[in-house]
Amino acid sequence: MSIRLEDALKHPTLAAADPIIRAGAKAAARAQLRWIHSSEIIDIAPLLAGGELLLTGGEALALASEERQVNYIHQLAERGVAAVAIETGDALPTLPSSMVSAAEAAGLPLIELRAVVPFVGVTQAINSMLVSDSVSHLRRAEEASHAMAVELAHGGGLDRILAVLAGISHAEVTLTSVSGATLASASPASANAADADDADASSLEPQEQGRPQEQGRLIHIDVPIRGILAAQLLLRVPADEDQNLARTAGNRSVDILALALLQRMSPGLKEVAAAALLRAVDSGSQAWRLQQLASAAGIPSTAPLVAIVIRSGMLQHLRGSVEHLLARAGQPSATYVDNAELLAVAVVAGDAPGESRHALLAGLRALSAPSDTRLAVGPLAAEISEAPWSLSEARLTLDLAHALGHSHTGTHGPRSPVIDCEEFAIERLAMGSLGADQRRNFVRQQLGALLDHDAQRNSRLVGTLATWLDSGCNTAQAARELHVERQSMHQRLQRIFELCDGDPRRTGRLAALHLATRLVRLD
């Protein structure tokens, strides 16, 4: 039987840290460990496989915003981590209440380590005990994988294949589509009658009714086909069974299940063409090739569209949400994951492309996404031949937003992960048309006096002017955004006007100054 979390907390190397469970006590009582891992990286969740006890010193969390701290808990819970233990001390005196509440709601055991212990010693001591279990799990998982392959070779359906997995893992097993529809299922009881043709999800119902959900653990395992998330394997493991064996056997069964799914629902021409289209758009293929692939992918070659670029540590999970949003809009679209990016093209309504694009932006902003997600929507492309341009502009927007630290994200605020490339139109034009020296010379010509004043007196007149111009010269709004009194704002503007040879609204220099304040951020 695997090592339980309670036993690990009592191990001398970890007990020295004076651990106390702050949240998820019920889950902690039945949690089993697959491995112990230590990391200070906040966005560590995508690198974990589930079942880990994660140790962290808390220094990075202490510097993170409350939103990132809560997202840290949510991502670890979604990943199936067994527990997270955070060391408190000078950097992080106490565990934030928001993290404790989030962990309790998610059922993730959250442990406070009230004394410093060497994490290396803890991981070495306890992981060495887990290794022998891992070897046994791998051997039994290989046996299950082989038996599932034999079942598949003899024409067995998904229910029969899952029955093999259910038999060895003693778990109730369900295979669902990306949208959540049940494709097949099996229970330990059905494993003893795997030759029954009518074994289906109904065999699960009595057990679900007889066993409260909190007494077991639900393990989620992605099942990709050709790099694309096609299904999800769910294993509900009773509290008294070996969760790590179920997880290992489930992971070993992924390839067999992918083959079975390919036989059942092989990707059609449309899906293959959609992936090929995005690859061609990304590589900037010739117009005739894009038109050919667009037609095969069900995308009108002359319809207006936009390109989307998404960067995140959990792209496969986001892909389903994005595809669902695009399908709900009723417009043809295609998506593709490559090189840590999710790429998409989406047709917009031809009678009102601008409104359709704004609606798409609003829908994307409403999606739930990990804290590390950054998404840019490219400019309107008149037809598929302009899709490479829209894609490259979206990608440039992401790079600019990163370089500028999201200092300019329009009316949606600096925290929005969804960026409209039109809010960076000036910066995109400058990067494509002006060299670095040309940009610096123009900025110096327009803002030289203000730049010198800021450098000599440690003031922020250039930033004040930029905010005022971005607000449409609305002094009251600029004062609110800068968190200053309106009288102070008027005084700053008066000094700016003196250094700029007058009120720019009366000199014809308004556009030039606005351009310069945008360019100064690039250099």
Query: What is the per-residue pLDDT for 512?
Result: 87
Query: What is the per-residue pLDDT for 249?
Result: 87
Are both 273 and 395 inside the same structural domain? yes
Contact 450, 496 (CB under 8 A): yes
Are both 91 and 179 inside the same structural domain? no
pLDDT in tens, 255-287: 889 888 877 765 565 777 788 899 899 988 888
Query: What is the per-residue pLDDT for 213?
Result: 41
Is 189 a domain residue?
yes
Are both 12 and 96 inside the same structural domain? yes
pLDDT in tens, 58-110: 888 999 999 999 999 999 998 889 999 999 998 899 999 999 999 999 999 99
| DSSP at 88 | -
Residue 408 pLDDT > 50: no
Cβ atoms within 10 Å of 414's Cβ, excluding its own: 12
Q: Above pLDDT 90, what percent of the chain?
A: 31
Are both 156 and 188 inside the same structural domain? yes
Residue 407 pLDDT > 70: no
Tell me the average pLDDT across 157-166: 89
Query: What is the per-residue pLDDT for 58?
Result: 87
Query: What is the per-residue pLDDT for 436?
Result: 84
Tell me the average pLDDT across 145-160: 86
Distance between CA 419 and CA 375 in Å, rounded? Answer: 6
Are both 184 and 153 inside the same structural domain? yes
Residue ending a domain, among 405, 424, 443, is 424
If one compares 169 and 413, the residue with the highest pLDDT of the two is 169
Residue 318 pLDDT > 60: yes
Residue 506 pLDDT > 70: yes
Q: Residue 507's domain spans which residues?
A: 434-519
Are both 109 and 179 inside the same structural domain? no
Name the band, by pLDDT with cuts 50, 70 and 90, for residue 523.
low
Question: Facing residues of 20 across strands?
Answer: 112
Query: What is the per-residue pLDDT for 395?
Result: 92
Residue 202 pLDDT > 50: no
Residue 201 pLDDT > 60: no
Per DSSP, which regions of 24-70 are E strands?
Answer: 35-38, 52-56
| CATH at 31 | 3.40.1390.20
**Considering only CA atoms, which of 325, 322, 411, 428 is closest in space to residue 375?**
322
Residue ending a domain, among 117, 142, 177, is 117
Are both 279 and 406 inside the same structural domain? yes
Tell me the average pLDDT across 342-348: 92
If one compares 60 and 133, the residue with the highest pLDDT of the two is 60
**Tokens, residue 308:** 């989307």
**Tokens, residue 366:** 């409403």
Please give the mean pLDDT across all residues of the chain.
84
H or E, element range at 374: strand 374-377
Question: Of 111-115, 280-284, 405-409, which range is least confident?
Answer: 405-409
Is 23 a domain residue?
yes
| CATH at 238 | 3.30.450.40
**Considering only CA atoms, which of 32, 57, 33 is closest in space to residue 44?**
57
Question: Facing residues of 341 across strands?
Answer: 311, 338
Residue 197 pLDDT > 80: no
Is 124 a domain residue?
no
Is 429 a domain residue?
no
Residue ending a domain, among 117, 149, 178, is 117
Tell me the average pLDDT across 197-218: 45
Are both 287 and 419 inside the same structural domain? yes
Query: What is the per-residue pLDDT for 220?
Result: 85
Residue 345 pLDDT > 90: yes
The residue whose two tokens read 């489930």 is 250
Query: What is the per-residue pLDDT for 200?
Result: 42
Contact 159, 186 (CB under 8 A): yes
| CATH at 289 | 3.30.70.2730
Is 136 a domain residue?
yes
Q: Where are the alpha helices (DSSP H) in 114-253?
A: 119-153, 158-169, 188-191, 205-210, 243-252
If one compares 357 and 30, the residue with the highest pLDDT of the two is 357
Residue 377 pLDDT > 90: yes
Tell me the average pLDDT across 230-257: 85
Are both 309 and 417 inside the same structural domain? yes
pTM, 2 dp: 0.50
Are both 418 and 288 inside the same structural domain? yes
Name the band, by pLDDT with cuts 50, 70 and 90, for residue 43.
confident
Name the band, by pLDDT with cuts 50, 70 and 90, for residue 410.
very low
What's the Cα-to-Cα distance from 492 to each of 452, 464, 499, rounded to whole Å?
15, 8, 11
Are both 241 and 286 inside the same structural domain? no
Residue 194 pLDDT > 70: no
Domain count, the chain: 4
Are both 289 and 357 inside the same structural domain? yes
Q: Above pLDDT 70, what percent of the chain?
A: 89
